[in-house]
Amino acid sequence: MLKLFHYFKLARLHKPLPILLIYLPCLWGIALCSPPYVHFIKWGVLFAFGALCMRSAGCIFNDLCDITIDQKVARTKERPLAAGALSKKEALIPFIFFLSGGLGVFFFLNTAAKIISLVGLALLFLYPFTKRFFVFPQLILGFAFNIGALVAVAQLQPFLLLKPQPWILYGIGIFWTLYYDTIYAVQDLKEDLLIGVHSTAVFFRHHLRYALAGFYLVMNMLMAFLGVYLGADIWFYGTLVFGIIFDIFKDIRRFDASNTREAERLFHHAIVIGIAIFILILFPEG
């Protein structure tokens, strides 16, 4: 029973909210295509299952790659692999299980969607290594975590890939990821500096508020650009302005990098932002 708990924790199933960080871009892509309602339910459910499986598989792979790093960081040293509660061989069991689950969804996709999802999988498994040599590893994470938007479009309306809308949407997701994962990385900032691990939090440590505001503004500029293609009305643009005023002038302006609890709160708030993006794409005219 204890071993089962360690497997549960290894796959981060005790923290399910971040699954939305992979799932929401899939919903954005579905909303952009505006398929019949029955297709929305079918692909919404399939992508939800795929997001759960790939997030868990990605977490396990990340822990397998980062055992020595996790052992030196206060927030991660109690993870099952870092703490020695599970061996590498034992961790392969749930890794293969969740990867197989993701493969099940893969077989429902058309050829274009399969190719894009394979690129996303490669980026997801590349990410843990980039923090050792690349100053912007969150950029790679953004490419990987938001690939679901392109997969959804490729599956439902592949001709749209020849137009700007899905690529603008992909860019929105990348800057959304840069925003929330920089906040997340702040929690390990001191240890990362000592260990020599790269992150956007480390790179922008002296100008964190400006970096977060910049990521947020570019994300909203891309949203405004997407709104032109969606035929958005005043509700769409008014919501963007409200978000900028609220998040930049309230949360980001007061952000304290030394307050890890505040960083965690702001990280979870980014999920609300992702949900708002989905609603705006689905109902651009209010």
Element (H, E) at 37: helix 37-65
Mean pLDDT of 154-158: 94
Query: Model's pTM, two decimal places?
Result: 0.95
Q: What is the mean pLDDT of residues 130-138?
A: 93
Backbone angles phi, psi at 146, to 5 degrees: -105, 5
Q: How confident is the model at residue 37 (pLDDT cuts 50, 70, 90)?
A: low
- What's the length of the chain? 286
Cα 110 to Cα 108: distance, rounded to the nearest angstrom: 7
Judged against a pLDDT cut of 80, whether residue 34 lies above it is answered with no
247-251, 265-269, 279-283: least confident range: 247-251
173-230 pLDDT, tens digit per residue, is: 999 999 999 999 999 888 888 888 999 999 999 999 999 999 999 999 999 999 999 9
**pLDDT surpasses 90 at 236:** yes
Residues of the domain holding 39: 2-282
Our count of domains for the chain comes to 1
Residue 38's pLDDT band (boundaries 50, 70, 90)?
low
Q: Which two tokens stand for residue 46?
A: 């399939």
**Full DSSP string of 57-104:** HHHHHHHHH-HHHHTTSTTTTTSTTTTTSS-HHHHHHHHHHHHHHHHH
Select from 5, 284, 282, 14 the least CA-distant residue to 152: 282
User: What whole-number distance in Å separates Cα of residue 76 and Cα of residue 122?
Assistant: 24
**Confidence label for 14 from pLDDT (cuts 50, 70 and 90):** confident
CA distances from 146 to 130, 150, 163 (A): 17, 8, 18
Q: Each residue of 80-122: pLDDT tens digit?
A: 888 888 889 998 999 999 999 998 999 999 999 999 999 999 9
Banded pLDDT at 42 (limits 50, 70, 90):
confident
- Residue-wise pLDDT for 46-75, tens only, equals 999 999 999 999 999 999 998 888 888 888
Q: Are 243 and 200 in contact (CB under 8 A)?
A: no
Question: pLDDT value at position 60?
Answer: 93
For residue 121, give the CATH number of its domain.
Answer: 1.10.357.140
The Cα–Cα gap between 282 and 30 comes to 9
